[in-house]
Each structure stands twice: as structure tokens, then as C-alpha cells.
Amino acid sequence: MQQAHTGQSVALFGGLCGGVDFGENVARGYITVDQVEACSTLFPNSPGYFGPGGVAGNQNVLWGDYMYVDPANDFAQGETLVHIESAPAGFFVPGDYTYYGRYVAFTAVDQREPLPTTFATRFLNGGQFTGGTDLVCWRDSKNDPSPFVCGTLPNPFPLSQTQVVIFDEEENPTLVEESNFSPGIEGEDILVCRWEATRTEVGGPDFPVDPDFGWLYLNLNTSTGSVVDPFAQAWVTAIMSADGRFSVGFDAIALSSGCSSANIIIGEPL
């Protein structure tokens, strides 16, 4: 588990990798939790996990929270867990975008609602918040991932996005021009949330931002060769900190639903 999440070669994967090695031994990834009807070692992409008589149930009974704790800097943030609603059987039909869609060939057998695709969030990089703002992102590549040769990037990474607009506190916009096709071009494109699990510094080398204060419009839809292109579910949390003193964290505001076919581009007529 540690090797897979820190970008090391894994014997279970035949010496291949399951993540990118950034050289600092920090584990990156995410966890999904399902209500189940029986104990099992099956995964969401395993036959028999979803569907009639499957391991996964459809009761919306789970709730919880999480915390990021950074003792070295006296920081801590917390939020509610991201809740994925299970719909009644037959609500989603084959071809619909569902949360586990990429694991079930978009047959909708999981009956889980998709997450939003577009977000707005504040950023503060000055004043009392001397530590600036980080975005913690989850993205859906819409591909069932497989281990890959260490030192390479599997398709469709790094992930691009449809549109990013930076607003200062007087609502003056700066448009980040990008292609909505993934993989993006390293060194040329500004890729805000390039991996499935990413932490990005607002105003840092990967996401340069001129104003110190403002808000971001993040349309994270991207095409990856999937049947549900260009829509791509995601989740974004903003963390703001003051060096060694305090920090805050909160989920970005969701501006869309993954159940909708709307893909709004700022500056284009409705």
C-alpha cells in the first residue's frame, strides 16, 4: 500500500507503479466507502460487486467527516466526507454518467450519482494568510486504471480542464486559455488539478495567479476518450493558512451537477 501510493514499484503489480513518484515519500490517493450487504474482497470493478445480489447495497445510511492534521505547522482542518447518493434501481440507465461509471463500463449498474464538474472558491495569498491557499482536488479520469511502467505517465494524465477564470476582488477576470482534452501538455498548459488526487498551491509554479485575493471559476470537465466526454466529475477543497498560527479549510461551491448535460463556458452566450 505504501509503495503504491508513493509512486514506487510494487511486486504485486509485477514491478509496475500505481502512482507518480514526486521524490518526497508522501502518500497520495483517496478512499471510497460503500454500504455493503456482505463481507467480501471484491472491488467496484469486480463482477458481483454491484447489481442484484451484489456486495454493495443501496441504503443511504453512511455519514462521516475527515481531518487534515499537520502537527509540524500547528495546522488542522476538517470537513464532512463527500456523500455519494445511491439512487433507486433503474434511476440511471446504461450510458449515464455515474460515480463508479468507469469501473462498470458506464452500464450504470452502480446507481451512484456523479459528483459536480464545475466549482467556485475563494483564495487568499496575503494579509493574515501568509501561508496562502492550496486546492485539494479529486478528479475522475473516466478510465479504469491499470499499473504502468514506473517513470512514465499513463494515459490520460496529466488531466486538463475546460476553463479556469481568475477573478480579483473587483471582479476583473483573467482567463486561463486551455484545451479541454487530456492529457495536457507539461510545461505549456496550466494544469490546476492534474492528477486524480492533487494538492495545488494557488499562485505557485503549477498555478500562477497575479492577484493576492479573489476567487476562482473552475470548470474541470475534460475529454479523455470516454463515452461520457467531455463531462468529468470532481471535488475541490480550499485550504488557507497563516504560517504556524492558524488555518481554515472548506469545500468549494459546486456550480453544476454531474447529472446535467450543461457545460457552461464564461464569456460565451447562453
Instruction: Check: CB of residue 84 under 8 Å from CB of residue 99.
Output: yes
User: CA–CA distance from 215 to each of 36, 199, 218, 238 (Å)?
Assistant: 40, 17, 10, 11
- Give the span between the Cα atoms of 255 and 214, in whole angstroms: 17
The per-type count for the chain, helices as H runs and strands as E runs, is 1, 13
- Give the span between the Cα atoms of 166 and 174, in whole angstroms: 5
Coil, strand or helix at 211 = coil
In a domain, 53, yes or no: no
- Give the span between the Cα atoms of 195 and 184, in whole angstroms: 11
Report the pLDDT value the prediction gives residue 147, as an integer from 0 to 100: 94
User: For the chain, what is the radius of gyration of the CA atoms?
Assistant: 19
In a domain, 131, yes or no: yes
Report the pLDDT value the prediction gives residue 265, as an integer from 0 to 100: 82
Question: Which of 59, 64, 65 lies closest to 35 in space, CA to CA?
Answer: 59
In a domain, 210, yes or no: yes
Number of domains in the chain: 1
Report the pLDDT value the prediction gives residue 268, as an integer from 0 to 100: 59
Q: Please provide the DSSP assignment of 89-155 as one string.
A: TTSS-TTS--TTGGGGTT--TT-BPPPPSEEEEEEE-STT-TTEEEEEEEE--SS----B-TTS--T
Instruction: Check: CB of residue 267 under 8 Å from CB of residue 175.
Output: yes
In a domain, 167, yes or no: yes
In a domain, 191, yes or no: yes
Report the pLDDT value the prediction gives residue 269, as an integer from 0 to 100: 46
Which range of residues forms the domain containing residue 176? 115-258
Report the pLDDT value the prediction gives residue 270, as an integer from 0 to 100: 42
Phi/psi at 104 (5° precision): -120, 25
In a domain, 267, yes or no: no
In a domain, 93, yes or no: no
Please give the model's pTM, rounded to 2 decimal places: 0.92
**Weakly modelled stretches of the chain, pLDDT under 70:** 177, 268-270
Instruction: Check: CB of residue 84 under 8 Å from CB of residue 112.
Output: yes
User: CA–CA distance from 167 to each of 116, 174, 212, 253 (Å)?
Assistant: 21, 6, 10, 15
In a domain, 83, yes or no: no
